[in-house]
Each structure stands twice: as structure tokens, then as C-alpha cells.
A and B are shown apart, each in its own frame.
Chain A
Amino acid sequence: MKKLILWLLVVLFTLAPLSGVFAGGAQDEAQGPVEFEFWTRETQSERMATIQVLIDTYVAMNPDVTIKLVAVDENDMALNMRAAASAGTMPALLEIDAEIAVALGAEGILDTDAAGKMIAKVGKNKFFPRTLDLFETGDIGVYYAIPYHGMTQGIWYRADWFKEAGLEPPTTWETVEKAAKYFYNPEENMYGILVGTMETESYDEQCFTPIAMSNKAGLFDKDGNLIFNSPEMKEAIEYYARLAKYSPPGPQTWRARDYYLQGRMAMFFYSTFIMDDLAVFEVAKGSLTSDNFAGLDGAEFDPDLVINTKCATIIDNKQPAGFGAVCSLAMPVQDDPRITQATMDFLTYLYSPNAYITFLHMAVGGMMPVLKGVGETERFLNDPKGVYSRYGADKIREINEGLDNIESFGIVEGVRIEAASTIYSKKIIPQMIYKITQEGMDIDQAMAWAEAEMKKLLK
């Protein structure tokens, strides 16, 4: 019996690598039409439908190409990519944000040559320079991915409430905290501000980054040395923890923005993605009744919300800081050069004016062009829901140009620090914030924990 089991194991172990050989052989010999996968982080069905329309249009013009659209949740993208890389089934095209692109790129998964060619093809000087910086490798002028669209983040607030209370707009540490305290009234089920405190959500870090940057607290110096454990950083964390006290109870994430739409909250950190929710009735209604609040049909939409809401895009303490994120199209390394070529052809189409604007219009507000001039075109401003026209061309240009002022832990004095992306994707800062605000851990202790975790990653 022992012999039999041994024999079986031997057979199994010999067969396992063989199957790999067969699979590899089949790939090399493949001829004929090209087929590849496009992984998008747009998981909402309407957005997927828009992308599918673009794909269908392209495929109709290029019948030799088959493109399979796969939606992958933002938080699972790195994980799934890693699994796909191990399995040798990588997609040819990814829509991912800068931090994940750099983290994946640092592992050698992304094709920097192809990205460089694409950027040159679109025209390097057409991009907002800051958006390219975010994707730069350790070598100057070499990029992991091609910027595609971006959003800026700010504190959205009830300007009418602020005026009534005689409060200044929330643009500095002091004014934000004062207003958060003023409006926080849990007995009436009213809250001052929303900041992220959930353990595994990137949203926490998106809220925290501008606060840290405005206090001149970074993760790294320009030589890549970890300088996380600094007095400035501690101040920023203490401040953030104080703001968290004026948030709705318990760990919270971006979903809680619905409390604002219900008129239960005075301020919240959010990206320009919220613009359409504020402006358009159907959208806001859809948001209130979607996944999070099934059956909540009765929540009333406040048509004046868009007028009464203002956005402070920059927060100031020791220096002004803004935050935003740029999403890119990245090309994972392929064995078959024909796939890379086909992907680049498809990308050329995606950057053509009509396709580009169609893509951007699927998330009005949240997808700002990274190419100069596009945001000022009439076609772009004339979105199907009529949101941009409510804000006006000047306001839109201002928001669009905010992309050139994005602060990130990953760029120090113009130098791209790749390790910051690994720290971001491992969600160490969200975990630290959770420990402090929810588990009541002492700040020094939590910072020591975070620093130790960061050091482990940098090894």
C-alpha cells in the first residue's frame, strides 16, 4: 500500500510540469485572430456597458481582434493580478490607479517599453506633467503605465449651513476641526465630518494623505529613507483621530457619504466622483437605493444640494496640499508580441477624441481628462446628464487643472519612491488608523507598529 501511494505521487509530480509544457507549446503555435482580456476597475454595470460599447465598436472595425472585458474590484486588483501572473493567464490591458500600477510595475509585471511607445504616440507634451510623474519608474522618462483619467479630492461641505453658523470654509486644519465640532450632534443623529476609519479600505489613506502632506509629514525623504516616525506625522495622526471622533459611529468608509446626501452630515472627504450625485436627481436616488440601502426608496432628494454644496480642494496647515488619483491603462508583459501590438492599437483607439470622451463621460466628475485641452472642449462639457453645465466651464477647468497639483507620499521633490506604493497597497496606514480610532490603541504604539510593518516590506 505504501508503495502504491508513493508510485501515485511520483506519477502526479511528473505529470504536473508536463501539463505546463503542453500549455506553453499551444500558446506559441497560436495563429490567426488575436484575443486578449481587458481588466477594468469599473464594476458598476452601466459603466461596464459603456466600455463594452467602445470595445464592440472597435472590434467591428477590427474583426481579427477579440477583447474580453472583465471587471475587478479596485481592492482586489493587485491580488488577482498576482494570481493571474502565477497562473500565466495575465490580461493584456488593465485600468488601474497609480499606486497599484507602480506596485505591480516594481515586480516586473508591466511592459514599460510598450507604455513608453504609447505615451510617445499620444504625445508626451499633451499630458498634464504631474499625471505622468505618478507613473514614472526609478529611471527618468520610463513609465509603468499610461495615464488615462483622474480625479481630485476635497472636502465637500454644506455652504448654507456654514454661512448660517458664521463659520469659515473648511480650508485649514483649524476651520475644519471647528466646523466638525460645531455640527457634531449625535443626539440629533447629526455628524460633523466623514473621514475613513475602516481597516482594509484605501479610502482612509486617501483622506489622510492631504492632511499629512499639509503638515509636511511624508513617508520617505527624497533618497528613499523611511521617515514615517516624525513629530509632524504624529501631529497629523492626532489631528486625524480627533476628526474621526466627529464622524458617524464606528469604522466608516466612503459609503457613508449617503449620510451627507440625507442631510445628516456637514462635511465629507470625497473625490469629484460625487459631482453627479449632488447634481442629478436620478443619480442621487440611485445611489441611495443601490447596494448599501436596498429598499430605502423614501429618502428624499434635495434639489438644492448642488447649490448648497461647495468643495474645498486644498487643505492648509504648514503648507497647502491637495489630493487626487490618476487612473492609468497598463499593459502587463505578454509572451506573444502580437497581443502587445493589438493592445497598443486598441489603446490608440481609446485615446482618440470620441472614444476618450465617451469613456470619461461614464463617471461624470470622477473621470477628468489627463490630456490638456480636452476638458475645455464643448463635447466634453456637454455630458449626457448635463452635470458639467451646472458647474460651469471655469469651475471644471479649475478642477481639471487640480490634477497637476496632486500630492502623494510616493513623489518626494519630484523623485518617484516605489516603496510608497507597496505600503499603500498593503494598507498599512488604514490599519494603523483603525487601531487608533477604533481599537483605542495608543498613537505612539500604533505608529511603532506601522513603522515595523513598513520596514518589513522594505526589506
Chain B
Amino acid sequence: MTINQLQAPGSLLQKMNLEKRETLFGWSLILPAVIIIAALILYPIFYNVYLSFFDVKIMQENIYLGFQNHENIITDSAFWKSVLTSVIYVFFTTMGTAVVGLLVALVMNQEFPLRGVVRGLILLPYVAPVISVVFSWQFIFDPVNGLFMHIAYDKLHLFAERFNLIRSPQTSIIIAVLFGIWKNFPFTYLMLLARLQAIDRGLYEAAEIDGCSSWNKFWYITFPEIYFLLGSIILLRAIWNFNKFEEVYLLTENVKVLPVYTYIKAFTGIMDIGQGAAIALIQFILLIGFILIYVKRVLKW
């Protein structure tokens, strides 16, 4: 639809003032997107909210339960434990990827031989299929045959006994966090490197003439330049990691972050759809709460 068509003589549109016509034109442009979003995002969300009030049966009528599904979750101590696990997991993986990503980006922004190759190689963990790297990590940390125990216990005698670093509930979160950082820092690195390359060289030259130290150059030029990008990446990473299932569950079932808790609670064996919907709703509310605070405080929108 073009402006000309909209202005066809005698049409209803002609009687509208310009402002109204522009508004309508704007809406008609985004309408396809709105319909797709409504169908693929809003409808499932509302349907999910609706289901969370029911005991969902396959072959029979659903039974209305009121808030019982939600109550089951909120009163379950394992749920709050998994919220805490999620917070720990999200905080350390997000911060870890940000710091490692930033450091690597700063280094890769320097001139050195074979820089292009190294820049590409760093992306490997991010592009490698989860399942294959998960098996490699599991093999490295296998308590009986693994490389880690072989070096740490047999060779270096660091520990009094062999233990299952990757599966024991006490230690598996450490591995999950390390894995999360290792797997995802290249994304942060890639984004930051692109931004770093766009910073005007002239700023650094001016700073050098003024006698700035390297730290001051970073703090007063580089950091302000990347602040909002870094802030956005951290937000995205936090959202992604909060909802992360496969990287955690495939690596070790015993780090019960919220999505894993949801899986065990609602989807083990005979699936409890109502219960799952209730958890998803609560998880959604928690995440939205975090995003609102973060956007206001850190991104200052």
C-alpha cells in the first residue's frame, strides 16, 4: 500500500487529517509483524496462563484447580532452592562471560601476527554443538577414568580421595558455571570487539598527548564507549542463562536451576501440564521483575 493509494479520491482516508493517515499507514506497515507476534508469542503466553489454573487431562475434561498449582510450587522448598541455584548460576556465568569476553576482546583488538586466525578460533566453543562438548567435559571429569582426576589425584596428589566433581551435588555447580562461561564468552567477545573497533582512534591519541595511563584510557574512553553495549549483552546473557536448560542438564543433571527443576517436577514420567504451566508463569514473573529493575537502574532507559 503506497501513499498514493491511500490518497485516492473519494476514499475514507482522504477525509482524515494527515496525522491520522500517517498513524494508520504506520500500523498497516507493522500489522504483519503484530499478527505473527500475537499468534506465536501472545497466544501461547495467554494459553499458558490459562492452563496453569487446571489439572490438564489428556482424554478427559480439564479440572479447574484455582491457584492450587501455583501454591504447590511456592510452598515447595525445592523450588526456592532452585531459585537460589539459578541466581548463583546466572550471576556467575553472566559476570564471567562479560569479564572474560571483555578481556579477550581487548587483547584481540591489539595488532599481532595471525590475529585473524586466532579471532576465529576463539569462537569455537560457541559454535560447537552442545552435546559433543558436553561429552568431552564429562569424560575429562569422570571420577574413575577422567583426565582431571588422573592429574589432580594420581599425579599431583591435590586431593585426599577421588570424587565426582561433575556430578556431585556439592561441586557440580562449579563445573556448570565454568562450562557456561567457556561456552558463551565468545558471544560477548564478538559483540565487544566489533564495538571496540568502532571507537575513534583520535580519542586515544588525544589522551596519550595528555599523558593518560593505559588504565585511564580504558576507564575514561573505552569503558564509556562500550557501557551500554556491555549492559545490553549482560541483560541478554542473564535472560538466556536464566532459561538455560540443555547446557546444564546435559552436562550434569544435578545442578537444579529453575528449568531443570521444572523438568523434574512437571515433565518426568507422566507429564503434569498444569503444574508446568504454573512454574513457567512464576518463572516469567521473576524474570520480568529482574528485567524491569535492570533496565531502569543499569541501562537507564
Among the 9-residue stretches A4-12, A152-160, A369-377, A388-396, the one with 4 or more Cβ atoms under 8 Å from chain B is A4-12
A251 to B142 CA separation, bound complex (whole angstroms): 11
Q: Do A83 and B144 contact each other (CB < 8 Å), given the known contacts A8-B38, A12-B43, A249-B162?
A: no
Contact A294 B139 (CB under 8 A): yes
Contact A186 B58 (CB under 8 A): no
A-B contact count (CB 8 A): 113
Interface of A, secondary structure class, is helix
Contact A186 B269 (CB under 8 A): no
Interface residues of A in 104-148 (CB under 8 A from B): 104, 107-109
Interface assignment of A236: CB less than 8 Å from any CB of chain B? no
Contact B59 A107 (CB under 8 A): yes
For the complex, count residues of B whose C-beta is within 8 A of A. Answer: 36
A341 to B136 CA separation, bound complex (whole angstroms): 47
Interface assignment of B267: CB less than 8 Å from any CB of chain A? yes
Q: Do A249 and B268 contact each other (CB < 8 Å), given the known contacts A12-B39, A12-B43, A294-B139?
A: no
Interface residues of A in 1-23 (CB under 8 A from B): 1, 4-5, 8-9, 12-13, 16
Contact A249 B163 (CB under 8 A): yes
Partner of B270, one of A103, A248, A291, A438: A103
Among the 9-residue stretches B14-22, B96-104, B164-172, B291-299, the one with 4 or more Cβ atoms under 8 Å from chain A is B164-172
Interface assignment of A439: CB less than 8 Å from any CB of chain B? yes
Q: Do A250 and B143 contact each other (CB < 8 Å), given the known contacts A103-B269, A438-B168?
A: yes
Contact A425 B144 (CB under 8 A): no
Contact B145 A78 (CB under 8 A): no
Interface residues of B in 59-83 (CB under 8 A from A): 59-60
A186 to B163 CA separation, bound complex (whole angstroms): 10
Contact A83 B270 (CB under 8 A): no
Q: State the Cβ distance, A312 to closest chain B Cβ, in Å.
A: 24
Q: Give the contact-size bracket for chain A.
A: 35 or more
Q: Which residues of A contact B43 (CB under 8 A)?
A: 12-13, 16
Interface assignment of B84: CB less than 8 Å from any CB of chain A? no
Q: Lowest 10 A-B CB distances belong to which pairs?
A: A250-B164, A425-B269, A82-B271, A250-B167, A85-B58, A249-B143, A426-B269, A249-B164, A108-B59, A250-B168
27 inter-chain pairs at a CB distance below 8 angstroms, sorted by A residue, are: A12-B39, A12-B43, A13-B43, A16-B43, A79-B268, A79-B271, A108-B59, A108-B60, A186-B161, A199-B253, A199-B264, A200-B264, A249-B143, A249-B168, A250-B143, A250-B166, A250-B168, A251-B254, A259-B144, A264-B144, A293-B139, A294-B135, A294-B139, A422-B270, A425-B268, A426-B270, A427-B268
